[in-house]
Amino acid sequence: DIQMTQSPSSLSASVGDRVTITCRASQSMSSYLNWYQQKPGKAPKLLIYAASSLQSGVPSRFSGSGSGTDFTLTISSLQPEDFATYYCQQSYSTLYTFGQGTKLEIK
Amino acid sequence: EVQLVESGGGLVQPGGSLRLSCAASGFTFSSYAMHWVRQAPGKGLEYVSAISSNGGITYYANSVKGRFTISRDNSKNTLYLQMGSLRAEDMAVYYCAREDGGAAAFFDYWGQGTLVTVSS
């Protein structure tokens, strides 16, 4: 199975900050990488697919980049509704494993 | 409107069994692969199982292989997860999710989740 490692595990930031979350895969996987946002008590929501494609309806302050083993999710200017937990997911191999999550908290 | 609604969760004793259901509506269910993902209390997302659109191909995480069975009934637009030999570590909210994107697979719709509690 492909192992996904996110960093940092938690992050404190302020409204308006630029934030970057990193996801590293245990093997090369082209651009088969997705990002989800999850708020407490809710199901995950797709933000970015195929490493850099923005899901319909997702604000353009979210962006993704990377290929191979290293990927990033960037939020260009944090809004109050962005404080949540973020997960990467690989869809290169059949068991679509997730990273351990990054909890984004208000500073 | 696409909807996925899980049901069947509840309290079960260690070693017991439970069947989860995921009722789909608002799309052609038989055209999509479907997945189960779980989340233990206060923990991250864990991938559980997948089934192809026609039910002919299934995949399982090592943690549930041999104990869980995924299936679907395309005539009823319903996905199932039969869980057996349940352990404390299986306690979680279980989500069903629809796969889209072709080769660049992603989960574009999720259910609200159903809680499975394993305790004596």
Asked if A62 and A47 touch (Cβ cutoff 8 Å), the reply is yes
- Whether residues A55 and B110 touch (CB distance < 8 A) is answered with no
**Tokens 């719709």 belong to which residue?**
B109
pLDDT on residue A69:
97
Kindly list the residues from chain A whose CB atom is less than 8 angstroms away from the CB atom of residue B59: 94-95
**Does any CB of chain B come closer than 8 Å to the CB of residue A101?**
yes
- Alpha-carbon Rg for chain A, nearest whole angstrom, is 13
Asked if A88 and A48 touch (Cβ cutoff 8 Å), the reply is no
* A34, A85, A94 member nearest B59 (Cβ): A94
Q: What angle do CA A45, B94, B116 make, to 5 degrees?
A: 145
The two most distant CA atoms of chain A are separated, in Å, by 38
**Tokens 């996905």 belong to which residue?**
B79
**Tokens 């570590």 belong to which residue?**
B89
**Does any CB of chain A come closer than 8 Å to the CB of residue B73?**
no
pLDDT on residue A59:
98
φ, ψ at B34 (rounded to 5°): -130, 155
How confident is the model over B62-111, as pLDDT tens digits?
A: 999 999 999 999 999 999 999 999 999 999 999 999 999 888 899 999 99
How confident is the model over B9-31, as pLDDT tens digits?
A: 999 999 999 999 999 999 999 99
pLDDT band at A1 (very low <50, low <70, confident <90, very high): confident
